[in-house]
Amino acid sequence: MLFNSFTFIFAYLPVVVVIFFILGKYRHHLALIWLLAASLFFYGWWNPAYIPLLLASIFFNYSIGRYLISQHGQQRPRQRHWTFILGITGNLGLLAYYKYGNFLVININNLMGTSWPLPNIVLPLGISFFTFTQIAFLVDAYRHEVREANIIHYGLFVTYFPHLIAGPILHHKEMMPQFSKKETFSINWENWATGLTLFTLGLFKKVVIADSISPFVNTIFSAASQQSHLHAADAWGGALAYTFQLYFDFSGYTDMALGISRILGIELPLNFNSPYKSFNIIDFWRRWHMTLSRFLRDYLYISLGGNRHGTLRRYVNLLLTMLLGGLWHGAGWTFVIWGALHGIYLMINHGWRHLWMKYSGVPAARWLNLAGGLLTFTAVVIAWVFFRADNIPSALVLVSSMVHPDASSPEVLFPLRSPVWRWILCLMCISFWAPNSQEILNPHQSPGILRWQPNLTWLILTILVLLYSLTHMELVSEFLYFQF
């Protein structure tokens, strides 16, 4: 079931919300059980066969986590340590089998000249997100940062439908207190107004903006996969179109997830904060998929040693972290290259920052920040080519066309160029200079003309945008991050 479907908007969501608050008025425990059941139903709508897998993962991690919590302060550190290793290994093994099984067999066959048959594996929806969520829980439990061990709260923490498929990746400490607050179970009309506005903005981004530019993206990348040489304008147009398609698709999902959750009285962590406004790649990763960046930093980069063992080791850790972050997105060499590029970008950025402060000692001038922002955006666009391309040769064709203006262009692409470029320039202006959803809804950040208020004017505007978005839902499409 998709957030941008009529079934979800007019059937599933109203039923879930109404029954949740009816039950919450009398029994909080029953309301949480209902929300857990509704979340499992939401997941099972895609493929009921994978509900047992999700439940098995939940009970496995809950059992490991409860043991780690119960043994806090006890005199069996080795047993506790190996139980933790078992939990992490189980999660990574599950992820490796379902997400990387085919990838490993293909590469072994290519490397060894063997002909092992490919296993018939269908990637369970959202497995990367619910696996990383539970790994974070186990690490927190092992570090003595988790105390609660309520199975209903834990099950809901993992399966909570607004975040289950494409994030944000949650911390245990962010969610558990909210499941225990009595305010969560009472209707808050300002939460409803804020949530509806966020959901509407997200739906508009997805169905009106991201889906509208998708056909041009598919045309360009399909031409590249057929090894067709593209004119530089078409190549850059395709790369930029995908850059903004992914931006508004993921931003739209994030807004919708946060909006749905706000209606239910539960706040999810911010996961997207105008990343193309970044002046450098370090800042980009503080703004793009913020909870994934947090996970990679707290549970991978720091565990590898972070910056505690010298400059060289720090750069190696950065590169390894981003390589694994790229592989997390997909089982393919294009994702590995994408991660490697961002690892190299981060190494260069940290090195430049160190040299600048060492020999200058003053903050960079505004013009230098602007130049850094342009360079950062260009580097991100080039990396997105590998992220989107079907394979490495396709990506290289597109990148080569981007840097060789004299390449030929298939005639079929010419009619699309002018309107698409106008669309791209419009989206560039929005992503570079317009306030984002969170800024509009924050009275301390948004400009006066766009400052949201729970009044009649904003209600009418929200309804009009919602109705307009609904007219663009003839063909329901998945969110791009569903494939990860």
Question: What is the set of active-site residues?
Answer: 329
Name the residue type at position 323.
Answer: L
Are residues 259 and 202 in contact, defined by beta-carbon separation less than 8 angstroms?
yes
Give the pair of three-digit tokens for residue 294. 């947090």
Find how far residue 122's CA is from the centre of its chain.
Answer: 21
Q: What does the alpha-carbon distance between residue 170 and residue 300 come to, in Å, rounded to a whole number?
A: 16
**N- to C-terminal Cα distance for the chain?**
16
Q: What does the alpha-carbon distance between residue 388 and residue 391 come to, in Å, rounded to a whole number?
A: 9
Are residues 157 and 119 in contact, defined by beta-carbon separation less than 8 angstroms?
no
Q: What does the alpha-carbon distance between residue 70 and residue 147 come to, in Å, rounded to a whole number?
A: 9
- 1: exposed, middle or buried (C-beta count within 10 Å: 0-12, 13-18, 19+)? middle
Give the pair of three-digit tokens for residue 260. 């749905």
229: phi then psi, degrees, rounded to nearest 5: -80, 135
Q: What does the alpha-carbon distance between residue 154 and residue 177 come to, in Å, rounded to a whole number?
A: 12
Give the pair of three-digit tokens for residue 484. 């990860």
Give the pair of three-digit tokens for residue 248. 């508004």
- Length, in residues, of the chain: 484
Long-range pairs, 31-40, Cβ under 8 A, ≥24: 31/185, 32/152, 32/153, 32/156, 32/179, 33/152, 35/156, 35/160, 35/264, 36/152, 36/155, 36/156, 36/159, 38/12, 38/161, 39/156, 39/159, 39/160, 39/161, 39/164, 40/159
Q: What does the alpha-carbon distance between residue 409 and residue 403 come to, in Å, rounded to a whole number?
A: 14
Are residues 169 and 295 in contact, defined by beta-carbon separation less than 8 angstroms?
yes
